[in-house]
């Protein structure tokens, strides 16, 4: 069953519906399996380890073995900041971002419903992931991208996996509105995170974190927020495990936004239950260049219920954090992902995060998603002949 998060109206899981017919708000899937956590033992470490919590037809699963991503202790960076820091490396998923978790469930649902065409609007990663999973399932895939604002690696993936890529004159919010209209006309099955089944996959990030910590919740989970699906999904997963009695404590959900695209942070600052959209969102972190996040209400609920918070970071802080994580801990992430680390630094410096807290930062996408930003942040390599004396002069220069 799906329910409306605002008025509680109920809908059958077999219905193709994205928002509530009664009040227009967003929907969520109800999932309360009666199982013991022992059943997870000895299962392969992919997100389907927790399949009882994925309410789709398990005989139709479309998977590339997503999930089971690295959970890296970052001792040096943690010590610098005075916290116990873990980084959940979502760039290690099959197409290089956390979206694969959502698409595995979303495309499985598409097969269950018998649709032949799927689609999305995307700042890049959603389209890359959808293109790959649609290819695996043999479905037609249409993606709408904001013209000129999608990082190169993501564009290459969407095109190479055979999606029909359409470049839309406008930003992500406008592209999402357009693709939603197509979906409501029945021209495609929408796989943006407004589709609540996407979040059923992404909630597995929360499952893995508490499993990795030995069935304990960290003090805090920090992650970048764009369209606001992921923070909502992780909170849903954690609360489901809490309600099932698998864990006894809960984390504070902490969302980080780029200063130029921060409707959620603004709403939290004001104590609002919904956002005021940002008209012309702008940030170097193109993945989260979003002004009207579709899951805003769910994200705000997650932040308020968990006694969490939201913070903004500048583009400079994002790029600094991206470099710091790469150079100090060897973890290469795209700019949007580094917002979590930038936010952590800012919140520690301002005293809003206590020393000694156990913190999980989610880094959402791989460095190679956005090679141009990475290259632009570095000096060009020196070119010389393969000559020993010339080489040793260069090596010993600095």
Kindly state the smallest distance separating residue 299's Cβ from ligand F0G, in Å: 7
Own/partner long-range contacts of 70-78 (Cβ < 8 Å, ≥24 apart): 71/208, 71/209, 71/212, 71/360, 72/329, 72/331, 74/325, 74/328, 74/329, 74/331, 76/328, 76/329, 77/324, 77/325, 77/328, 77/329, 77/341, 78/359
- For the bound state, the minimum distance from the C-beta of residue 88 to ligand F0G, rounded and expressed in Å, comes to 12
Of 20 and 361, nearer to ligand F0G (C-beta) is 361
d(CA 53, CA 30): 10
The encoded tokens of residue 322 equal 């991206």
Smallest separation, CB 109 to ligand F0G (Å): 18
Helices (H) and strands (E) in the chain, counts: 14, 13
State the CB neighbour count (10 A cutoff) for residue 243: 10
Nearer of residues 87 and 287 to ligand F0G, judged by Cβ: 287
In the complex with ligand F0G, the residue whose CB is nearer, 54 or 290, is: 290
Rounded least distance, CB 302 to ligand F0G, Å: 11
Nearer to ligand F0G (CB atom), residue 27 or residue 40: 27
Q: Which is nearer to ligand F0G, 123 or 180 (CB)?
A: 123
* Least spacing, CB of residue 123 vs ligand F0G, in Å: 4
Compare residues 100 and 357 and give the one whose CB is closer to ligand F0G: 100
Q: Which residues bind ligand F0G (CB under 6 A)?
A: 97, 99, 122-126, 193, 224-230, 287-288, 334, 336-337, 364-365
Q: Where are the beta strands (DSSP E) in the chain?
A: 2-4, 10-11, 27-29, 71-73, 84-89, 117-121, 140-146, 164-168, 189-190, 220-224, 252-258, 309-313, 358-363
Burial category of 6 from C-beta neighbours within 10 Å (exposed 0-12, middle 13-18, buried 19 and up): middle
Closest approach, Cβ 6 to ligand F0G, in A, equals: 20
């Amino acid at each position: 069953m799906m329910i409306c998060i605002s008025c509680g109206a109920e809908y059958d899981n077999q219905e193709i519906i994205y928002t509530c017919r009664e009040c227009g708000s967003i929907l969520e899937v109800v999932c309360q399996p009666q199982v013991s956590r022992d059943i997870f033992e000895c299962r392969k470490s992919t997100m389907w380890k927790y399949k009882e919590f994925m309410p789709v037809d398990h005989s139709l699963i479309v998977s590339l073995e997503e999930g089971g991503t690295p959970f890296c202790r970052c001792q040096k960076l943690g010590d610098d900041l005075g916290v116990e820091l873990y980084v959940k490396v979502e760039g290690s998923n099959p197409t290089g971002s956390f979206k694969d978790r959502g698409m595995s469930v979303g495309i499985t649902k598409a097969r269950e419903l018998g649709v032949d065409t799927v689609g999305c609007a995307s700042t890049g990663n959603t389209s890359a992931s959808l293109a790959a999973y649609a290819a695996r399932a043999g479905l037609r895939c249409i993606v709408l991208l904001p013209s000129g604002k999608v990082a190169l690696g993501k564009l290459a993936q969407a095109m190479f996996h055979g999606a029909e890529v359409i470049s839309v004159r406008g930003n992500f919010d406008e592209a999402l509105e357009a693709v939603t209209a197509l979906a409501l006309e029945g021209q495609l099955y929408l796989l943006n995170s407004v589709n609540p089944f996407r979040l059923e996959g992404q909630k597995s990030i929360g499952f893995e974190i508490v499993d990795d910590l030995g069935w304990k919740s960290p003090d805090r989970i920090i992650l970048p927020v764009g369209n606001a699906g992921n923070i909502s999904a992780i909170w849903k997963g954690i609360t489901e495990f809490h309600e099932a009695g698998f864990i006894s404590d809960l984390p504070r959900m902490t969302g980080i936004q780029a200063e130029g695209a921060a409707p959620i942070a603004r709403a939290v600052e004001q104590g609002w239950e919904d956002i005021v959209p940002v008209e012309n969102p702008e940030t170097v972190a193109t993945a989260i260049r979003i002004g009207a996040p579709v899951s805003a209400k769910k994200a705000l609920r997650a932040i308020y219920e968990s006694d969490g918070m939201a913070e903004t970071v500048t583009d400079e802080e994002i790029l600094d954090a991206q470099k710091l994580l790469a150079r100090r801990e060897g973890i290469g992430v795209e700019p949007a992902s580094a917002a979590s680390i930038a936010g952590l630094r800012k919140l520690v410096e301002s005293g809003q995060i206590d020393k000694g807290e156990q913190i999980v930062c989610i880094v959402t996408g791989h460095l190679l998603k956005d090679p141009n930003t990475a290259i632009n942040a570095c000096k060009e390599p020196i070119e010389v002949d393969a000559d020993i004396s010339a080489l040793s002069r260069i090596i010993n220069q600095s």
